[in-house]
């Protein structure tokens, strides 16, 4: 007898929790093969990514091994690029370019989201997003390099440009990148005598909205705004970038800011795979019912950022794109898929927001657990405690804690390894989880070897 097969596409918050939920179902696990297709062999805990970019956490701390923590799940490394709803199969491309097809009895799409672009001249060419580990590693090295180059130049204009960092988008991603980034560059600048006495480095955080963290409780906005300004971040709400060039940005005020760093955190859009499936969408998200099943397709489910899930706590709205919702939807999807095989009962997805936590670096944070606004060290403790509870993998939790403790007593490690170059992390990518390969790989008789050297970043 052939085993039935559940295929989960994407091992982010929703996919990871769905796989975990399915393997916990013993009877289900025995009768059904659970396949997880993902481009990487790890689940990435995105909320701690700004701390990777600031050299506080090592990248493997926030990367949870799928094989080690999901025993019984068959991991297929690859990126799905097609779904055949008639034949009930998906096609994918593996990490070495090999193509594959995988049939399914139940399909769960949890492919998340990618950087959102806006039609601002020069941004696609000169800005970098912040959605994956390669971008965080690039930014960490790039920031470090800018400070080192600034310290080494005799040209005051070049020094000022290299020490200016512009972040567009003051949602939780941009706010955390600027907050942690400023602390990091201050540490770096203190090590260079020529920078120590100048009013550098300079961080600008821009948002077209009238407050930072515009999508969150205004009390969190006020706390974050205060901490950022006290730290010296130049917060410009109600403003944005009109144009970006290699040497700087032009603001909508007409002000020109010479800089070599533009971080684009204006938001995310659902992964383009959703459109390729050819099912009804709502703003690029796959339409599903409260049970996370695609209407008229009882064998297809979707959850997380990629799915438009009705928010039963706010009739007429869809659940926001947050980890909090994605991971809970993953659990509900697992429950409902198991129920479709006769194990347990299906349930509708319903979740009241439990609040939000924004880590601002040092001991500072802005948080509102269960609606209670907190700031200062209390918020910092709650935020870090929350991340430790939410991060899967005991080994990862212990290592993250160790990094935090070490950072409190040791100088931050700041060497740049330069392994991820600018061209490898374009803003407009459908796969922010993978660095792009060299565009022109010269054919080599012995196989596909990338060219030596590295084009200028």
Ligand X SMILES: Cc1cc2nc3c(=O)[nH]c(=O)nc-3n(C[C@H](O)[C@H](O)[C@H](O)COP(=O)(O)OP(=O)(O)OC[C@H]3O[C@@H](n4cnc5c(N)ncnc54)[C@H](O)[C@@H]3O)c2cc1C
List contacts with ligand X (CB under 6 A). 9-15, 37-40, 46-47, 49-50, 79-80, 110-112, 130-131, 172-173, 271, 273, 304-306, 321-324, 326, 433
Query: Residue 159 or residue 175: which is nearer to ligand X going by CB?
Result: 175
Q: Shortest approach of ligand X to residue 173 CB, angstroms?
A: 4
Q: Shortest approach of ligand X to residue 242 CB, angstroms?
A: 25
Query: Residue 110 or residue 261: which is nearer to ligand X going by CB?
Result: 110
Cβ neighbours of residue 157 under 8 Å, at least 6 residues apart?
A: 258
Q: Shortest approach of ligand X to residue 138 CB, angstroms?
A: 14
Q: Which residues pair with 206 in a beta bridge?
A: 168, 236
Query: Residue 63 or residue 144: which is nearer to ligand X going by CB?
Result: 63
Beta carbons of 353 and 324 less than 8 angstroms apart: yes
| Coarse DSSP helix, strand, coil percentages of the chain, rounded to the nearest 5 percent | 35, 25, 40
**Angle between helix 13-24 and helix 323-340 axes, rounded to 10 deg:** 40
**Angle between helix 394-409 and helix 376-390 axes, rounded to 10 deg:** 150
Q: Shortest approach of ligand X to residue 365 CB, angstroms?
A: 11
Beta carbons of 230 and 372 less than 8 angstroms apart: no
Query: Residue 13 or residue 165: which is nearer to ligand X going by CB?
Result: 13
Query: Residue 148 or residue 282: which is nearer to ligand X going by CB?
Result: 282
Cα(408)–Cα(390) distance, rounded to whole angstroms?
A: 22
Q: Shortest approach of ligand X to residue 53 CB, angstroms?
A: 9
Q: Shortest approach of ligand X to residue 15 CB, angstroms?
A: 6
Query: Residue 258 or residue 267: which is nearer to ligand X going by CB?
Result: 267
Q: Shortest approach of ligand X to residue 36 CB, angstroms?
A: 9
Query: Residue 40 or residue 336: which is nearer to ligand X going by CB?
Result: 40
Tracing tokens 């740049």 back to the chain, one arrives at: 416
Q: Are strands 106-109 and 4-9 parallel, antiparallel or unpaired?
A: parallel
Dihedral angle sign, alpha carbons of residues 403, 15, 348, 281: positive
Query: Residue 27 or residue 378: which is nearer to ligand X going by CB?
Result: 378
402 φ, ψ (degrees, to nearest 5): -65, -45
Residue 256, token pair as written in the block: 């020109």
Buried b (16+ CB within 10 A) or exposed e, 209-236: bebbbeebbebbbbbbbbbbeebebbbb
Nearest to 433 by CA among 10, 9, 52: 10
Beta carbons of 204 and 165 less than 8 angstroms apart: yes
Element containing residue 289 per DSSP (H, E) = none
Beta carbons of 412 and 56 less than 8 angstroms apart: yes
Q: Which residues pair with 109 in a beta bridge?
A: 9, 302
Q: Shortest approach of ligand X to residue 433 CB, angstroms?
A: 4
Q: Shortest approach of ligand X to residue 41 CB, angstroms?
A: 10
Query: Residue 191 or residue 219: which is nearer to ligand X going by CB?
Result: 219
Closest residue to bound ligand X by CB: 12
């Amino acid at each position: 007898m052939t085993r039935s097969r559940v295929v989960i596409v994407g091992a982010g918050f929703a996919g990871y929790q769905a796989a975990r939920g399915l393997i916990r179902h013993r009877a289900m696990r025995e009768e059904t093969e659970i396949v997880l297709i993902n481009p990487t062999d790890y689940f990435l805990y995105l909320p701690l990514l700004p701390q990777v970019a600031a050299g506080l956490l090592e990248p493997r701390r926030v990367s949870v091994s799928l094989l080690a923590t999901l025993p019984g799940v068959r991991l297929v490394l690859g990126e799905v690029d097609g779904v055949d709803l008639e034949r009930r199969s998906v096609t994918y491309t593996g990490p070495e370019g090999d193509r594959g097809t995988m049939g399914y009895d139940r399909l769960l799409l949890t492919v998340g989201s990618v950087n959102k672009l806006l039609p601002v001249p020069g941004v696609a060419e000169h800005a970098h997003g912040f959605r994956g580990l390669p971008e965080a590693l690039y930014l960490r090295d790039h920031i470090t390099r800018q400070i080192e180059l600034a310290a080494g130049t005799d040209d005051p204009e070049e020094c000022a440009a290299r020490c200016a960092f512009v972040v567009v988008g003051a949602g939780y991603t941009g706010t955390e990148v600027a907050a942690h980034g400023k602390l990091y560059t201050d540490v770096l600048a203190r090590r260079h005598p020529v920078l120590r006495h100048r009013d550098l480095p300079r961080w600008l955080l821009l948002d077209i909205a009238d407050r930072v963290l515009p999508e969150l409780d205004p009390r969190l906005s006020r706390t974050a705004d205060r901490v950022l300004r006290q730290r010296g971040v130049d917060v410009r709400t109600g403003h944005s970038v009109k144009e970006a060039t290699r040497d700087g940005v032009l603001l909508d005020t007409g002000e020109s800011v010479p800089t070599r760093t533009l971080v684009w955190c204006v938001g995310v859009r659902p992964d383009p795979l959703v459109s390729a499936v050819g099912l009804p969408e709502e703003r690029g998200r796959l339409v599903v019912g409260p049970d996370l099943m695609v209407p008229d397709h009882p064998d297809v489910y979707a959850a997380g950022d990629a799915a438009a899930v009705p928010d039963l706590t706010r009739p007429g709205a869809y659940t926001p794109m947050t980890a909090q919702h994605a991971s809970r939807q993953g659990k509900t999807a697992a429950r409902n898929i198991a129920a479709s095989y006769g194990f347990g009962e299906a349930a509708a997805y319903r979740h009241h927001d439990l609040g939000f936590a924004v880590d601002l670096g040092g001991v500072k944070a802005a948080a509102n657990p269960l609606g209670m606004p907190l700031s200062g060290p209390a918020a910092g403790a709650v935020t870090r405690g929350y991340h430790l509870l939410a991060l899967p993998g005991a080994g990862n939790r212990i290592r993250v804690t160790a990094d935090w403790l070490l950072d409190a007593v040791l100088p931050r490690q700041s060497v740049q390894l330069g392994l991820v170059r600018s061209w490898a992390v374009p803003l407009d990518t459908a796969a922010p989880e993978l660095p792009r390969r060299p565009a022109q790989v010269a054919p080599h008789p012995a196989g596909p070897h990338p060219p030596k050297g590295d084009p200028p970043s």
